[in-house]
Structure 1
Amino acid sequence: MQETKDSQPKSPSDLGKVHPALKAFVCGSLSGTCSTLLFQPLDLVKTRLQTLQNMHPGSPKVGMLSVFITVVRTERLFGLWKGVSPSFVRCVPGVGIYFSTFYTLKQRFLQERPPSAGEAVLLGAGARCVAGIAMLPVTVIKTRFESGRYNYISVLGALRSVCETEGPRALYSGLMATLLRDAPFSGIYVMFYSQAKKALPHEVSSSGLAPAVNFGCGVVAGILASLATQPADVVKTHMQVSPALYRRTGDAIRFVYAEHGVGGFFRGAVPRSLRRTLMAAMAWTVYEQLMERMGLNS
């Protein structure tokens, strides 16, 4: 019996044309895997810096290098990757959700034309809100893993423990602070990134130097976006590590200011800026190269 035309298997190129958003999800997830594994130690050091001194009021300041050395001495080298499992659970699908949402919004509203500065802000912020809300429970667990205050064994065990002891609502602690951090970060990042690329000559952006150019644009955009959203990151960390102490965003803001002044809102800025900048630059570079290889316009 002959196979009908419809029953014949589709070629890879046919399948590629059917689900472009799924391709964007896969490209984003792959880029998130690489960047998460490389830069997890910086995220752990940032979290420890933001929470360590609150355990001992009045103690001398602790720097990034001191925290790094302490973790290696007390928890060995692999202690720097504590929290990497929830980071993978969060970042791999989270980055995929972000890029597939970004791609879908861009194709739906811009129809292949480059975004203006304002449109880039809305695209980045909108995509990040979707990904941030979807992955917030894992973000809470990840922050607690990194803080060193909780003895969770696994991501699923931690989720179950929080639901049983604190209620499901605790998994959404710091939601407002997270959105106030992530949405502006992505909006500012995409705006500077897209405008920097647009300002480059076409000969440069389309040459073999494209990956390096994309990475350079990403670094500049990441530094600016990280500094602008650092205060929200500090508030978010406090709320997720100690949700019983900070029921509302305003409680955490008042505590940080009362204990450490304005400078307290920029604690952990160096490791976070390094991580977010390099992670975002790498994610976008890998994403755009993969999308180009799949024949899609990122």
Structure 2
Amino acid sequence: MSTTSDISATAVVVPAHPTKPSTPAIEQEKEAPAKKSESAVKSFISGGVGGACAVLVGHPLDLVKVRMQTGGASSNSVFGMLSTTMRKEGIRGLYRGVSAPLTAVSPMFAVSFWSYDMGQRMVKAYGQNGMNEEEKAAPYTLSMGEICVAGAFSAIPTTAIMAPSERIKCLLQVQATEVEKGGKARYSGMLDCAKNLLKEGGLASLYKGTGATLLRDIPGTVAYFGTYELTKRELMKIQGIDPNNGQLSLTAVLFAGGFAGMACWGIGIPADVLKSRLQTAPEGKYSGIYDVYKALIKEEGYAGLFRGMRPALIRAFPANAACFLGVEVAKNMLGFMD
């Protein structure tokens, strides 16, 4: 059969104009609808669950960190301090002062994740400004810059809860060290501590160190949420998961959360040292955070700004891995709220 015959035969079979696909085919080719925004209430509850997980896993190492920062460490070794505390005070000693962060950290993390969600909504709305309805309906992936802005925003409302909790927690932890050395306990517990602070100096005393807390938490939350999202996206690429519709494995969530915590504390530890010194100092010792900074540099040099970094970083990975795991598990369980 000649080439011409082949072409002619083919021309009979193939239509001169391609036919349009049927309506069902068109529907199948349409891009998947944008992923729905999560409920703000869901973000709030999930954050609270994550916060409780973080406290329960990380508090013993937080205790060591505060004692190192305030000069109450009985050993230069993180694990040496844990061993000494366990031997002298038992398991309860490792969780000294835990009631304050557990009471405040769960709602604090709830507010943090809720405000982070609100921050994401705001930057998304700003990014979609000028788009038509069809463009707005398409999946919108926040840039890392937008993620960082949302993270920074989350630190502001969170500090309103965190500052007094941190003050009480630090005072109770330092008090335990003084009692161990033969001193007398000044506070019987969290509520007694709060009551005495209010009696002595009012709300100003309870919120002492708020500026230092913000100085720590604004860059810290930028690193926290930024690192989590960046790590999560990279892991999704490696695993071939669609970032708009897919979900990470629990192992990947643990790694992303752990690295996020380490990034947060790696940036925030100098401000945390200043905050701890300011919040546990006798009234009138320092005029403010800059006064703490000058005194610390004069007495200990710049190395003093990084006291407690080892326990902070050791604690950061498991505590924040547990936090994000708790958040993601809670979100899955609360999927009906979307």
TM-score by shorter chain over 0.5: yes
Q: Does 1:68 align with 2:82?
A: yes
Q: 1:40 aligns with which of 48, 56, 59?
A: 59
Q: 1:151 aligns with which of 186, 198, 203?
A: 186
Query: What displacement does 1:36 show?
Result: 0.8
2:13 counterpart residue number: none
DSSP 3-state at the match of 1:33: helix
1:118 counterpart residue number: 145
The total of aligned residue pairs comes to 276
1:197 counterpart letter in structure 2:
K
Query: What displacement does 1:288 show?
Result: 2.3
2:45 counterpart residue number: 26
1:279 counterpart residue number: 319
**What is the alpha-carbon distance in structure 1 between the residues aligned to residue 256 and residue 53 of structure 2?**
19
Aligned pairs for 1:76-155 within 5 A: 76-110=90-124, 113-148=140-175, 149=178, 151-155=186-190
**What is the alpha-carbon distance in structure 2 between the residues aligned to residue 134 and residue 30 of structure 1?**
16
**What is the alpha-carbon distance in structure 1 between the residues aligned to residue 80 and residue 269 of structure 2?**
21
Q: Deviations over 1:176-217 (max 9, x none)?
A: 111111111111121122122223326357778522112212
Task: Give the structure with higher Rg (CA).
Answer: 2
Q: 1:176 aligns with which of 208, 211, 227?
A: 211
In structure 2, the CA distance between the partners of 1:25 and 1:209, relative to structure 1 (3 Å rule), is closer
2:158 counterpart letter in structure 1:
A
2:3 counterpart residue number: none
**What is the alpha-carbon distance in structure 2 between the residues aligned to residue 297 and residue 277 of structure 1?**
30
State the TM-score, normalizing by the size of structure 2: 0.74
1:203 counterpart residue number: 240
**What is the alpha-carbon distance in structure 2 between the residues aligned to residue 290 and residue 126 of structure 1?**
23
In structure 2, the CA distance between the partners of 1:249 and 1:208, relative to structure 1 (3 Å rule), is closer
2:87 counterpart letter in structure 1:
R
**What is the alpha-carbon distance in structure 2 between the residues aligned to residue 293 and residue 70 of structure 1?**
40
Q: CA-atom RMSD, angstroms?
A: 2.6
**What is the alpha-carbon distance in structure 1 between the residues aligned to residue 95 and residue 45 of structure 2?**
24
Moved over 4 A (4+): 204-209
Q: Which moved more, 1:181-190 or 1:231-240?
A: 181-190
Query: What displacement does 1:249 show?
Result: 0.7
- Listed as ranges, the gaps of 5+ residues in structure 2 are 1-35, 126-138, 179-184
Q: Tell whether the 8 Å contact from 1:173 to 1:243 is kept in structure 2 after alignment.
A: no
**What is the alpha-carbon distance in structure 1 between the residues aligned to residue 168 and residue 101 of structure 2?**
9
2:132 counterpart residue number: none
Q: Tell whether the 8 Å contact from 1:125 to 1:183 is kept in structure 2 after alignment.
A: yes
2:96 counterpart letter in structure 1:
K
Q: Deviations over 1:263-282 (max 9, x none)?
A: 11111101111223322232
Q: Which moved more, 1:284-293 or 1:169-178?
A: 284-293
Q: Tell whether the 8 Å contact from 2:260 to 2:320 is kept in structure 1 after alignment.
A: no
Q: Tell whether the 8 Å contact from 1:24 to 1:96 is kept in structure 2 after alignment.
A: yes
State the TM-score, normalizing by the size of structure 1: 0.84
2:168 counterpart letter in structure 1:
I
Q: Does 1:191 align with 2:240?
A: no
Q: Tell whether the 8 Å contact from 1:53 to 1:61 is kept in structure 2 after alignment.
A: no
